[in-house]
Chains A and B, each alone.
Chain A
Amino acid sequence: MPRIDNDIKLDFKDVLLRPKRSTLKSRSEVELTRSFTFRNSGQSYQGIPIIAANMDTVGTFEMARALCKFSLFTAVHKHYTVDEWKDFAASSPDCLENVAVSSGTGQSDFQHLEEVLSAIPQLRYICLDVANGYSEQFVQHVKDVRARFPKHTIMAGNVVTGEMVEELILSGADIIKVGIGPGSVCTTRKKTGVGYPQLSAVIECADAAHGLNGHIISDGGCSCPGDVAKAFGAGADFVMLGGMLSGHTECGGETIEKNGKKYKLFYGMSSETAMKKHAGGVAEYRASEGKTVEVPFQGDVEHTVKDILGGIRSTCTYVGAGKLKELSRRTTFIRVTQQLNPMFSN
């Protein structure tokens, strides 16, 4: 008989952070940089732990160049060739410590990963990304990659529950990507009915990961700087953004003009658009699990980054966290029925 979990699981929109007493005088005092040492690779990281998603629109070399100036991170998408990687490494060696090479679980993916990593030894991060991180095959793949690259820091996912976070960490992953279905162009929840509200997923998975000295990325579901702050407040070590970074100069794809306004295409990596582009079509046995949208062109990503970082600094001052590190300890979420006064919205 099916079981119903009676606790309501929460999304970002269901909560707000409660303000708390603070000794901070100004937002400018807040430190957003974090340092981590990873459980399995033994490597350490320092930076502002926000990651551009490994989508072919957002996880571009251009994005990596813009974000690394702010010490943000980019999971570079898996569709660049080894030569493109070499060019990037030669022209932007300073960015290499803030990027990951992405890979799926196929045999050709593994070869591609090996070629990129052996061509550019300064790369230290691997992002192993599959739609469903619950398969035994994926666990085995994580073990294989760990055995082949013992000193590289491995991000792996996606999953949404504590027991699978633990399994992947024990199989050699350092940072677990958490999120199934929350993304702005993801239709997994619609097509499959499977998913987990992102705030609850992050709270539960962070707890599981931290118990093993592992780390997590909250991947998907952030639609505004406040959501990024809530993800950190919920315990995410890193927050990965797709939709919020889409539509910028640094994104892949052409800028299109429509009724005098500029747009850029943005789509899920399991959408028809992406599957046609990279695999020649949607395989017979699959449904597309992503959508394609035209997002208004937003100019340089630098402005968006400043807006996000300014928002999180303000969050930290409201809850009395002098450092991003303290944010989750200072977080009490209250449950709400609306985020914003709709008086002047259309």
Chain B
Amino acid sequence: MPRVDADIKLDFKDVLLRPKRSSLKSRAEVDLVRTFTFRNSKQTYTGIPIIAANMDTVGTFEMAKVLSKHTLFTAIHKHYTLEDWKQFASSSPECLEHVAVSSGSGQADLERLCSILEGIPLIKYICLDVANGYSEHFVEFVKTVHAKFPNHTIMAGNVVTGEMVEELILSGADIIKVGIGPGSVCTTRIKTGVGYPQLSAVIECADSAHGLKGHIISDGGCSCPGDVAKAFGAGADFVMLGGMLAGHDQCAGDITEKNGKKVMLFYGMSSDTAMKKHSGKVAEYRASEGRTVEVPYKGDVEDTIRDVLGGVRSTCTYVGAAKLKELSRRTTFIRVTQQFNQMFT
């Protein structure tokens, strides 16, 4: 008989952070830079732990060039060729410590990954991304990649529960991507019924990862800077953004005009649009699990970044955290039924 877990699991929209007494005088005092040493690769990271998602619209080289200036990170999407990578590496060598090469778990993916990492030894991060991180096949793949690249830091996912976070860390991954279905253009929950509310997933998975000295990325579900702050407050070491970074100059795709307004295309990586673009079509036995939307064109991503970082700094001053590192320790979430006053919306 199926089991129903009686606890209600929470999303970002279900909570707010409770303010706490603080000795900080200004948001300017808040330090958002974090330093991590990774469990399996033994490498060290320093930067502001926000990551552009490895989607072909958002995880671009252009995005990486701007984000790395602010010490933010980019998981570069897996559809660039080795030649593209070589050009990027020679034109922007300073960006290389803030990017990851992405890969799926197919044989062709692995060969591509190897050729890029061998071609550009300065790259230190690998992002192994599959829709369903629960398959034994994926666990084996993580082991294989860790054995081949023992000194590279491996991000792997996606999963949403503690036992699978532990399994992937013990298989050689350093940073586990957490999130199934929360993304703004993801329809996995509608198409399959599977998923996990993101705030609860992050709280539970961070706890599991930190117990093994591993790390996690909260991937998906952030629709405003407050959600990014909540993800960090919940224990995420990194926060990955797709929709919030969509629609900028640094994104791939054309800017079109519609009813006098500029828009850009944004879509999930299992949507019809993405599957048609990269594999010709949606396979017979599959349903598309993503949406395609037109997002308003927002100009340069620098402005959005300042807005996000300013928001997170303000969160830190409200709860009395002088460093991002302290945010989750200073976090008390209260449950709410609405986020903001709807009067003028």
A residues with CB within 8 A of B: 10, 12, 15-25, 27-28, 203, 206-207, 224-230, 233-235, 306-315, 317-320, 328-329, 331-344
Contact = CB atoms under 8 A, between A and B. Distances in A.
A146 B298 CA distance: 67
B334 interface: no
Given A18-B196, A19-B180, A344-B185, A310 B287 contact: yes
B135 A336 contact: no
B47 to A, nearest CB: 26
Contact of A16 (B10, B136, B184, B193): B193
25 contacts: A18-B5, A18-B194, A21-B164, A22-B135, A203-B1, A207-B1, A224-B190, A225-B193, A226-B193, A227-B193, A309-B287, A310-B287, A311-B191, A311-B287, A317-B135, A319-B194, A328-B1, A332-B4, A333-B4, A334-B9, A334-B196, A336-B197, A338-B197, A343-B223, A344-B185
Contacts of B167: 21
Interface string B142-164: 00000000000000000111011
A341 B5 contact: no
B214 interface: no
Nearest to B139: A21
A328 B2 contact: yes
Given A23-B135, A334-B9, 14 more contacts: A18-B161, A20-B134, A21-B136, A22-B135, A22-B136, A27-B285, A306-B284, A313-B285, A331-B3, A335-B4, A336-B8, A336-B9, A338-B13, A343-B243
A314 B193 CA distance: 9
B190 A340 contact: yes
B10 A337 contact: yes
A172 B11 CA distance: 46
A269 B167 CA distance: 52
A339 B183 CA distance: 11
Contacts of A344: 184-185, 243, 266, 291, 293, 295
Interface in B77-132: 132
B185 to A, nearest CB: 7
> Which 10 residue pairs are nearest across A and B when measured between Cβ atoms?
A310-B287, A226-B193, A343-B184, A331-B2, A311-B191, A315-B192, A343-B223, A229-B193, A16-B195, A318-B194
A177 B136 CA distance: 38
A227 B163 CA distance: 26
Contacts of A16: 181, 189, 193-197
Contacts of B291: 344
Interface residues of B, number: 58
A234 B193 CA distance: 12
Given A310-B287, A344-B185, A338 B11 contact: yes
Given A331-B2, A337-B11, A339-B189, A315 B134 contact: no
B161 A203 contact: no
B160 A19 contact: yes
B138 to A, nearest CB: 9
A335 B6 contact: yes
A224 B184 contact: no
Given A16-B196, A314-B192, A339-B189, A233 B134 contact: no
A313 B192 CA distance: 8
Interface in B21-48: none
Given A336-B197, A337-B14, A311 B192 contact: yes
Given A21-B136, A229-B192, A335-B9, A308 B2 contact: no
Contacts of B284: 306
Nearest to A338: B11
B289 interface: yes
Contacts of A334: 5, 7, 9, 196-197
B286 interface: yes
Nearest to A203: B2
Contacts of B193: 12, 15-17, 225-230, 233, 315
B295 A28 contact: no
B133 to A, nearest CB: 8
B283 interface: yes
Contacts of B320: none
Nearest to B223: A343
Nearest to A229: B193
B233 interface: no
Nearest to A32: B285
A229 B289 CA distance: 14
A234 B1 CA distance: 8
Contacts of B184: 341, 343-344
B239 to A, nearest CB: 15
A179 to B, nearest CB: 17
Given A339-B189, A344-B295, A314 B286 contact: yes
B187 interface: yes
Nearest to A8: B6
Nearest to B337: A337
B189 A226 contact: yes
Contacts of B185: 344
A225 B136 contact: no
Contacts of B196: 16, 18-19, 334
